[in-house]
Amino acid sequence: MERRGDVPPRLSLGTPFRRKERSGLREEASTRTSEDAAVRATDADALLSRLSAVNAGYLDPDPYVALLAQGFDTNVRRPLLINIGTALRSHQVDARVSNFLRTGSITGPPMASTHTAFQIVSLGAGSDTRFWRMGDVSMHPDALWSRVSHYIEIDYPEIASHKVHSIHTQPMLHTALQEIVLEEHGLASARYTLLGEELSALVPPEGSGSTRALDSLFAKLDPSLPTLLLWECVLAYLEPCTANRILTTLCARLPNVAIVSYDMCVAGDTHAPNAPPDRFGKVMLQNLAARNLGLAGARAYTTPEAYKHRFHTLLSSTAGAHGPCEMRSEAYTLQHAWRTLPRAEQERLSRLEGLDEVEELEMLLGHYCMCFAQRSACD
């Protein structure tokens, strides 16, 4: 168990984005290469954190996560605080995805739109198993997944290539995709596409309306359908200007768009949108900087309110071309998610490994947040 005041290993940080800047300085290039490797390594961290939470009973059985973890120690065990955080994050995202498919809304009552087919784009998806487990009728018999017209994952070419290999060699993974067409660093099938692309490739250069990566993405999408953009601990690693340009580019092309984001909030649960990191948040940043993770996005957006304002502003600024629309947004910490869990589920999670550091758990959960935003064009 970590000492009080230290930051336990982060909650399954997902597969973040690798920054790619222009510089002729060899020293800066070497530094970026080192940071790139540290960022890519967080995919394995996230994968093994999920596997640990599944093995310990915090999450429902997920036969697919072990298939993607081939080559790692599948008996991995994370500290109980990480297991609880991983479970909360997974439950929160899954619930919003399910609600989006059921009602067309990720927050609140159904949206005005009457669509029954939906698209999902997971940016920085890494070794996520959501496409397989939520489409498995033995795990989700409600058949909601049949409403997914297309599911697209985008990640580093290196990460995507590894996932393609796992899909190719594991029958449980590739039989769910039916006919597969291999592409450079990725693959495509009738309902699932994996693109091996830098996220920065989604930003058109000045004076250009598109890029090869954007063309590849929108060749698989129907802009008229409601589209959910998943960002699971990706934005913390992006330079804010790059992230906002990606969001602006995508949202400008999608009239009906929803965003689900899970990320760090290093100032904790304060209503001041631009609050500086608090003491615990500073330690988080220091610990991750020691792993060569700069976290430019986490330093720029430090509270749930900051994320909420960010997404609302981006959706508003790109709404003009799409006519009248309805917009919603919501944000809160994982601490709030923990405190509002049904008591029976909170007690179950607490008993699994004997939770006794409740104060430490709540401090940690108070520095990660969920944010949801949506814009729906009025029919």
The answer to whether the CB of 147 falls within 8 A of the CB of 218 is: no
The answer to whether the CB of 47 falls within 8 A of the CB of 126 is: yes
Residue 53 and residue 86: Cα distance in Å, rounded? 7
The answer to whether the CB of 315 falls within 8 A of the CB of 375 is: yes
Residue 314 and residue 247: Cα distance in Å, rounded? 7
259: CB partners within 8 A, 6+ apart: 228, 229, 231, 247, 311, 315, 371, 372, 373, 374
Amino acid 60 reads D
CA atoms lying within 13 Å on the CB side of residue 356:
3
Residue 358 and residue 353: Cα distance in Å, rounded? 13
Annotated binding residue 89: yes
Q: What is the DSSP letter of 4?
A: B
Chain position carrying tokens 């430019």: 296
The torsion defined by the Cα of 372, 152, 313 and 225, in degrees rounded to 10, comes to -90
Rounded (5°) CA angle 309-310-313: 80
The number of beta carbons lying within 10 Å of the beta carbon of residue 282 is 14
Reduce the DSSP state of residue 189 to 3 states and report it: coil
The torsion defined by the Cα of 161, 165, 167 and 172, in degrees rounded to 10, comes to -160
Residue 231 and residue 123: Cα distance in Å, rounded? 6
294 token code pair = 């700069």
Sign of the Cα pseudo-torsion (268, 32, 201, 48, in order): negative
Annotated binding residue 232: yes
- Cα 241 versus chain centre, distance: 19
| Residues flagged as binding site | 89, 124, 232
Could you list the residues known to form a binding site for S-adenosyl-L-methionine, using ranges.
89, 124, 232
